[in-house]
Amino acid sequence: MKHLHRNLLLCLIFFSGTVLASTLEQQRNDFVRAEKSLAQGDRAAFMRISAGLLDYPLYPYLQYQWLKDNLQQTDAIQAFLTAYKDSRYAGLLRTKWLGYLAENQRWHDFIRHYQATSNMAIECQHRLAVYSTGDKRLGISGAKRLWLTGDALPKECDPLWSVLMLSPDFSPELVWQRFELALGKDNVAVAESVRRLLPPADQLVADSWLQVHKKPTLIETNGFLTAFMGRLFAHGVSRLAKSDLNLAVKLWDERRQAFQLDVQTAQQLERQLALSLARNRHAAAYHRLSQLSVIDTEINEWKLRAALLEQNWAHVAETLSGLTAKERLEPKWQYWQARALEKSGDTVQAQAVYTKLAEDRSFYGFMAADIVSKPYQFANNPLLPAENELENLANALDFKMVRELKALNRNAEAERQWWYAIKKLDNERLMLAAKLAQRWHWDQVAITTLVKADYWDDLGLRFPVYYADQVRNNALLQQVDPAIVFGLIRQESIFNKDAKSAVGARGLMQIMPKTGMQIARELKEKWQSEQSLFSPDVNVRYGAFYYKKLLNRFQGHVALAAAAYNAGQGRVAKWLPSDGTMPADIWIETIPFKETRKYVTSVLAYAIIYQELMQRKDLKIKELMSDVRSG
């Protein structure tokens, strides 16, 4: 019977046209029936129904579902991998089959069908296969590279570790390296497991590492560390900086000379402390960053932010001069160049930089336009592909598979297939794919695809105006600008009403269920369920209400409310000036979180773009940028 199934499957894969094509709707129904037969273990029915689906786009998916549970069918699997080598399912099946070959120690077959992958289980098994088929030196070398990641690795790597530990290359030094790497990534369980491989005397030292990792204030204790424990002292300072930065800096500055430290470790820790001071808006940040021996782009950016917090424009200009010529052309740095020129008294040159920057459709370009009283520039150049180009792309097998998965409401699988399909496309065809996704009302996918094509000027595609009634009605109710609400939705969900974040936020304006319950109470509404947040009516009503609440909390300051919508009002309150006021552009640029900085600048810029799409001209970005007050 096993051989019968195998031969029948081979016939199905290479079947060439004697089965009459049925209607697409019937094929969809038959596809679902075949899946049910497979789930019920009725292989005969599955084979019979599959025979009528050879020309159906999802036939490879159907066969993959059968083969992944029948990995002993070597001939059929090899035939599938040959016939559908360019499909996503060939890669998925190969991964499962390689695991099966490894389990059965079919190492020569494994090596013959292996392809490089990010799957760590397969990579470990490949190193073991190389070792087991005779190239022991290469196998051990590969094992050592995997060992020195510091990451928790899958159980499939255990046989490789057994081989490595029996080799002459395995030593306490190799164990220590993995131990330190694991603690550096806060993988305590890995470090504790590796500790057991050390000699007894070294295990006592490792115990000290683990104690300091869990309670870094121990490095304050006199006599706890000897001069030879410099790396342990550095690790303790690094850990302490996450909970008590001032104490960490103090201990490092006072005691580092008492320890033997390699140059690289000392430089890495100096960099960490300097960046932490900058992110915490510490007065010493600029000086500390300037003392680093290696100044790269990240350090320069934070030097600039530290100088902005000081409002020391000489330091701003000095830091900008350290950027590369390419970096200085970015709108962000152009804006700060103009601000520094203006503050130094060179108003003519500042005006010239602002005027040029005002041509850019961005947060910084819009700010520059307001400064020189120029109209905003939008550079709206929609893509207009020929109809036959879209049809040709839609009729390619990869995209026909996407269409069928969508028709069957397999949306998650459809998205996975889409991202696989567009990997093969050049920029020109990526633009076509974006327009195809837009035609299929798949706006989130369309926008992301257009980003991958590095094309930014199709504003109709990038900024859809959906749920206009809900936005306008709730904006009016809460007395907020509808363009801001559109900007929030565009940034939060890209108008995907079914969006769900990794932390559980839901819907168009990404409301957390707990927040939704609180809003319902405040609105004196009955809380329905978490699912209700996927309703555009409910979500936009709650989101607009919550945004207005944040506006009230921060005295009507749009940028602060946007920051609080992303990072939480508690964090934003901590980022306010300790006294006096601060220009809003400086406050935004010095937000500690990269995500929130990008969020605020995007929402404000999107609001300007949406008012243009709504054929309005009244909203100015300078009106959203009043000075930020303390407390």
Provide the CATH number for the domain formed by 468-629 in this structure.
1.10.530.10
Predicted pLDDT of residue 631: 75
Which residues are catalytic, by number? 492
3-state secondary structure 71-96: CCCHHHHHHHHHHCCCCHHHHHHHHH
Q: Give the residue, 6 or 147, on which the prediction is more confident.
A: 147
- Cβ within 8 Å of residue 115, ≥6 positions away: 91, 94
Four-way CATH pick for 387-456: 1.10.10, 1.10.1240, 1.10.3470, 1.10.287: 1.10.1240
Under the banding of pLDDT at 50, 70 and 90, the label for residue 229 is: confident
On the question of pLDDT at 7 being above 90, the answer is no
On the question of pLDDT at 526 being above 90, the answer is yes
- Cβ within 8 Å of residue 523, ≥6 positions away: 541, 542, 545
3-state secondary structure 97-109: HHHHHHHCCCHHH
Q: 7-16, 28-37, 47-56, 59-68: which has the minimum mean pLDDT?
A: 7-16
- Cβ within 8 Å of residue 6, ≥6 positions away: 73, 75, 76
The dihedral sign for the CA sequence 317, 321, 326, 327 = negative
How far are the Cα atoms of 272, 282, 316 from residue 300, in angstroms, in the given order? 14, 16, 10
The H-or-E segment that residue 581 falls in is: strand 581-582
Q: Give the residue, 415 or 1, on which the prediction is more confident.
A: 415
Amino acid letter for position 41: G
Instruction: Supply the mean pLDDT for the chain.
Output: 93
Domain positions in the chain: 2-104, 179-294, 387-456, 468-629
Predicted pLDDT of residue 528: 92
For the segment 536-552, the average pLDDT, to the nearest whole number, is 98
Task: Give CA–CA dist 75/63, Å, rounded.
Answer: 14
Nearest to 497 by CA among 510, 485, 507, 489: 507
Under the banding of pLDDT at 50, 70 and 90, the label for residue 13 is: very low
On the question of pLDDT at 10 being above 60, the answer is no
On the question of pLDDT at 495 being above 50, the answer is yes
Share of the chain above pLDDT 90, in %: 91
Model confidence pLDDT, tens digit, residues 28-57: 999 999 999 999 999 999 999 999 999 999
Under the banding of pLDDT at 50, 70 and 90, the label for residue 579 is: confident
Predicted pLDDT of residue 20: 40
Predicted pLDDT of residue 519: 97
Planar angle of CA 17, 22, 24, nearest 5 degrees: 120
- Cβ within 8 Å of residue 119, ≥6 positions away: 95
Predicted pLDDT of residue 22: 56
Longest dimension (CA), the chain: 89
On the question of pLDDT at 84 being above 60, the answer is yes
Under the banding of pLDDT at 50, 70 and 90, the label for residue 21 is: very low
Number of Cα atoms under 13 Å in the Cβ half of residue 585? 20
- Cβ within 8 Å of residue 48, ≥6 positions away: none
Task: Give CA–CA dist 195/178, Å, rounded.
Answer: 9
Tell me the β-bridge partners of 629: 581
For the segment 222-241, the average pLDDT, to the nearest whole number, is 86
How far are the Cα atoms of 328, 429, 515, 518 from residue 526, in angstroms, in the given order? 54, 49, 14, 11
Under the banding of pLDDT at 50, 70 and 90, the label for residue 4 is: very low
Model confidence pLDDT, tens digit, residues 333-389: 999 999 999 999 999 999 999 999 999 999 999 999 999 999 999 999 999 999 999
Name residue, tokens 């900008």.
320
Amino acid letter for position 497: K
- Cβ within 8 Å of residue 472, ≥6 positions away: 482
